[in-house]
Amino acid sequence: MSDPLSSLRRLGYQPDPTRWERLAAEASRQRRVRRLTLAAGTLAAAVVMAGLVSRVFAPAIGLPAQLVAASGEVRAVTLTRQWLETGTSESMTVQVADIGAVRVEAGSRVRLKETGPAQHRLELAAGTLHARVDAPPRLFVVDTPHSTAVDLGCAYTLTVTDAGSTLTVTSGLVALAEAGREVTVLAGMRATASKGRPPSTPVSVDAAEAFRAAVARVDASRDEEALRQVLSDATVADAPTLWHLLAVVEPPLRADVGAALGRLVAPPPGWSAETNDARMLGAWWERIVEAR
């Protein structure tokens, strides 16, 4: 076969010497582009498919529950991340793995945020729940719009209204946290919280109204006259209240609070208003819990 270039030269045609190489390179580049485009399309399809598969086959978290109507009718449901509202004439009991149960009263709105070996976490937006849990501290948590209730091994009631959250502990103790303050509420005591404000100092549910009002004034404005009333009226049952006040009163008044608390429950050796550190407070707290 004759050389096509020689034939073209005889006709007076002088091709660009690099033309054939450029055409070959262009064809190769187009093939690479097609391959990359195909690969990108395949990857995109795989990503979309993976998302669909994960949505379809990913295990949904949930806790078994029972809705109980006023008529006595019982209906099995699952508490999930979707909000569940109890009707005006029904309650719900939620089994929290193997650590306890929660009863949700009528007219409540609740959902599950997380459940697993590390933590079981619910959210109560409105209404009332009663929790009874037997588990290591901080394994069971309930969030509200105003605070976070952290179980420390207990039974308690938590109520949420537009005004705030109220925690009443009937057994053990529960931590209530918000706005940088965490209080520990013992059995027979109560604390409240409102959004963006620290929880109130825990007070005995049996405390006189005047005592509760005086503690509230101390919380709100560090009212010195109210503090004097609290220190004067406090009994052994109020020792946890005074202990919490040690962390919030101004240093000049700390010695007075410590002296009043010391008359109820002896302080650890070496405590003073100047050495009011976490170690000393922890040791004193243990004495207070043992005295109840």
Cα–Cα distance measured from residue 252 to residue 179, given in angstroms and rounded to the nearest whole number:
25
* Cβ–Cβ under 8 Å, residues 180 and 197: no
Q: What is the mean pLDDT of the chain?
A: 86
In the CATH scheme, what is the code of domain 60-200? 2.60.120.1440
117 burial level (CB within 10 Å; 0-12, 13-18, 19+): exposed
In percent, the amount of the chain with pLDDT more than 90 equals 76
The answer, yes or no, to whether residue 3 has pLDDT greater than 90, is: no
Query: In the block, which residue shows the tokens 């187009």?
Result: 30
HSE of 120 in the Cβ direction (CA atoms, 13 Å)? 23
| pLDDT tens digits along 82-123 | 999 999 999 999 999 999 999 999 999 999 999 999 999 999
Q: Name the pTM for this structure.
A: 0.79
Sequence-separated (6 or more) residues with CB below 8 Å from residue 134: 99, 100, 153
Under 8 Å between Cβ of 202 and 189: yes
Residue 30's pLDDT is 52
Give the pLDDT band (50/70/90) at residue 220: very high
Q: What is the pLDDT of residue 38?
A: 46
| CA-to-CA dists, residue 5 to 12, 19, 24, angstroms | 11, 12, 17
Q: Which range among 12-21, 22-31, 76-85, 202-211 shows the weakest confidence by mean pLDDT?
A: 12-21
